[in-house]
């Protein structure tokens, strides 16, 4: 990775961490998630969305409404519920379907359906570091897509396309940035995805 790009990532991460409220949570994310989130399997701009979501700093409608920037806080994808981070990425009918398909695709056998629980599950699960990084990459890309889908107001009829693009993006990124030390078992697992 180019030196400048890595320094940009690190300074961005530190800026974000400087506004973190809880020292315990801050320590947890720095120690446990730094490598997965800012690792080479993730595109930096996608990782940035995860960092913002973790800290509830994304400009969701609930936040914009709170600061009187807009006059309604209903999710732009389902037009039913309030649009906060958990809803947008996990509970909205649109992104929920996409996440479920991704979880099945990767053998991501966990019932947790909120950001903190998924992060903890990936970190604590007894899987290889490579698999954890692929799961993290998929989570990061899912968040990125869900965010863009909301901004672009993509209809639910596009879910199949979104899922296919997400899979392709994860496969392409991981293939291009494949770590040197990956077991043959992990390589086979990835090749069969």
From the list 10-18, 23-31, 68-76, 151-159, the region that binds Zn ion by CB under 5 A is 68-76
Binding status of residue 78 toward Zn ion by CB under 5 A: yes
Of the two residues 154 and 174, which places its CB atom closer to Zn ion in the complex? 154
Binding status of residue 75 toward Zn ion by CB under 5 A: yes
Binding status of residue 99 toward Zn ion by CB under 5 A: no
User: Which of 92, 106, 118, 136: binder of Zn ion (CB under 5 A)?
Assistant: 92
**Do 94 and 142 form a contact (C-beta atoms < 8 A)?**
no
DSSP 1: -
Among 31, 25, 46, smallest CA distance to 173 is for: 46
Structure tokens that stand for 170 in this block: 């994860």
From the list 27-35, 88-96, 109-117, 134-142, the region that binds Zn ion by CB under 5 A is 88-96
Of the two residues 92 and 140, which places its CB atom closer to Zn ion in the complex? 92
DSSP 79: S
**Do 44 and 8 form a contact (C-beta atoms < 8 A)?**
yes
From the list 31-39, 67-75, 129-137, 156-164, the region that binds Zn ion by CB under 5 A is 67-75
CA 76 to chain centre: 19
Cα separations in angstroms, 146 against 75, 93, 142:
12, 11, 6
- Where do contacts with Zn ion occur on this chain (CB under 5 A)? 75, 77-78, 92
């Amino acid at each position: 990775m180019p030196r400048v790009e890595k320094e940009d990532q690190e300074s961005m991460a530190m800026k974000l961490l400087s506004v973190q409220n809880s020292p315990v949570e801050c320590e947890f994310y720095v120690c446990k998630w730094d490598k997965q989130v800012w690792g080479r399997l993730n595109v930096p701009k996608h990782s940035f969305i995860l960092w913002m979501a973790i800290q509830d700093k994304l400009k969701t409608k609930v936040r914009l409404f709170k600061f009187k920037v807009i006059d309604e806080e209903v999710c732009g994808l389902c037009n039913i519920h309030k649009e906060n981070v958990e809803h947008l990425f996990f509970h909205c009918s649109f992104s929920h379907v996409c996440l479920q398909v991704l979880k099945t695709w990767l053998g991501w056998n966990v019932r947790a359906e909120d950001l903190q629980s998924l992060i903890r599950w990936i970190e604590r699960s007894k899987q290889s570091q490579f698999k954890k990084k692929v799961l993290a990459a998929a989570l990061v890309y899912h968040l990125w897509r869900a965010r863009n889908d909301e901004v672009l107001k993509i209809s639910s009829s596009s879910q199949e396309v979104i899922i296919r693009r997400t899979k392709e993006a994860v496969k392409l990124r991981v293939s291009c940035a494949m770590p040197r030390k990956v077991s043959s078992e992990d390589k086979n697992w990835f090749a069969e995805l």
